[in-house]
């Protein structure tokens, strides 16, 4: 088995952030969040990185990353677009944005033949997560045993608005019973002024405990997941052809696999504090957090 691959979801338009945050600078020498993830991945033993992007971003991404990573890790690109025929759907549906994160993963199906890890481009996960995932992909993964990194929801919040998280139900043996994408999780003050975490669905608020395990789109897969997602996607398109906001989210695929006993998913626990840039107001917090990690010796001042 060869070295695992890192699949980076970088096709989003960052509507809430206000600019192309995939190439925005956060480190002292202009480093992007992706740079820190790939630095961690290289040191953890990943052998290739595949970026999922929109084709119109290709020249920007290549200019930012190709020379930097040459000789350090193999780099490739896959494009998420509106062509449904490559997924067995013979129709055209006019949309303003593609079909979501699982659709993005499917866009890389012809470039990956080895165990792989999926991450978001705009999320900072930390060294521990990459080391644990590489160990899993090198020593445990199979077509019937995959994984996700389980963060505590209280360590993944933004102070500036709602966030989306895959909320996990975890069994006693540490495997995922289910994962449900919640797209409207936020802080709310109770009558005493204390903050609690809630999500809203159909106008109803439900509280989440701070230590609830959530997926931050940090998954450990084999290429078997392409086969499953490819079978699910045409049905999703047909059922949602008139819903232009419908998205085929990654958690729906593992959830289907677990419920149909096709695979189990180990929830790899981490108490690491995730940070990311959902909103422009998050940027100074992320920059400060990275500066503290550099000062503590977790990263060199200049990565590459």
DSSP notation for the chain: ----EEEEE-----TTTSS-GGG---STTS--HHHHHHHHHHHHT--EEEEEE-GGGHHHHHHHHHHHHTTTSEEEEEE--S--GGGT--S----SS-S-HHHHHHTTTTT--S-EEEEETTEE--HHHHHHHHHHHHHT-BTTEEEEEEEEGGGS--TTS-EEEEEEEE-TTSBEEEEEEEEEEEEEE-TTS-EEEEEEETTEEEEE-TT-EEEEEEEEE-THHHHHHHHHHHHHHHHTTT-TT----TTHHHHHHHHTTS-EEEEEE-----EE-SSGGGHHHHHHHHHHHHHTTSS-SS--
> Rounded to an integer, what distance in angstroms lies between the CA atom of residue 242 and that of residue 49?
35
Instruction: Identify the sign of the CA torsion 237, 238, 242, 246.
Output: negative
147: Cβ contacts below 8 Å, ≥ 6 apart:
133, 136, 140, 141, 219, 220, 265, 266, 267, 268
51-83 exposure pattern, b = at least 16 Cβ within 10 A, e = fewer: bbbbeebeeebeebbeeebeeebebebbbbeee
Taking CA atoms, 21 is separated from 97, 159, 227, 245, in Å, by 17, 18, 31, 22
Taking CA atoms, 251 is separated from 4, 38, 182, 206, 298, in Å, by 21, 23, 10, 20, 31
One pLDDT digit (tens) per residue for the chain, 304 residues: 689 999 999 986 544 434 456 678 898 998 999 999 999 999 999 999 999 998 888 998 898 899 999 999 999 999 999 888 889 888 888 888 889 999 999 999 999 999 999 999 988 999 999 999 999 999 999 999 999 999 999 989 888 888 888 899 999 999 999 888 888 999 998 888 889 999 998 889 999 999 999 988 899 999 999 999 999 999 999 999 888 889 999 989 998 999 999 999 999 998 888 887 777 788 888 899 999 999 999 999 999 8
The phi-psi region of residue 254 (left if phi > 0; otherwise alpha if psi is between -120 and 50; otherwise beta) is alpha
The CA angle 240-198-279, to the nearest 5 degrees, is 75
Q: Residue 105: name the closest of 287, 255, 288, 227 by CA.
A: 227
Q: What is the pLDDT of residue 69?
A: 94
Q: Are 39 and 301 in contact (CB under 8 A)?
A: no
Q: What is the pLDDT of residue 1?
A: 61
Specify the CATH class of 5-295 in words.
alpha beta
Q: What is the pLDDT of residue 18?
A: 40
Q: What is the pLDDT of residue 178?
A: 87
């Amino acid at each position: 088995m060869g070295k695992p691959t890192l699949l980076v979801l970088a096709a989003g338009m960052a509507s809430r952030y206000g600019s192309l945050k995939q190439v925005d600078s956060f480190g002292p020498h202009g480093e992007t969040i992706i740079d820190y993830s790939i630095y961690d991945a290289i040191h953890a033993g990943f052998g290739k990185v595949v970026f999922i992007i929109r084709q119109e971003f290709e020249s920007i991404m290549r200019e930012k990353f190709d020379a930097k990573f040459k000789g350090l890790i193999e780099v490739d690109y896959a494009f998420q677009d509106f062509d449904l025929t490559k997924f067995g759907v013979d129709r055209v549906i006019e949309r303003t944005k593609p079909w979501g994160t699982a659709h993005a993963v499917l866009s890389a199906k012809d470039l990956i033949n080895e165990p792989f890890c999926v991450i978001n481009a705009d999320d900072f996960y930390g060294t521990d997560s990459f080391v644990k995932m590489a160990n899993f992909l090198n020593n445990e993964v199979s077509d019937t045993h995959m994984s996700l990194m389980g963060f505590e929801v209280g360590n993944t919040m933004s102070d500036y608005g709602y966030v989306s998280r895959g909320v996990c139900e975890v069994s006693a043996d540490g495997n995922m019973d289910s994962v449900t994408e919640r797209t409207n999780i936020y802080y709310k003050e109770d009558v005493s002024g204390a903050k609690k975490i809630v999500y809203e669905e159909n106008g109803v608020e439900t509280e989440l405990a701070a230590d609830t395990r959530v997926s931050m789109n940090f998954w450990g897969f084999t290429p078997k997941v392409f086969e499953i997602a490819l079978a699910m996607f045409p049905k999703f398109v047909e059922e949602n052809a008139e819903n232009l906001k419908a998205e085929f989210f990654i958690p729906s695929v593992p959830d289907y696999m677990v419920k149909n006993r096709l695979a189990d998913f180990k929830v790899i626990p981490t108490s690491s504090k995730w940070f990311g840039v959902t909103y422009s107001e998050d940027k100074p917090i992320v920059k400060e957090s990275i500066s503290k990690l550099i000062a503590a010796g977790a990263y060199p001042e200049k990565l590459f």
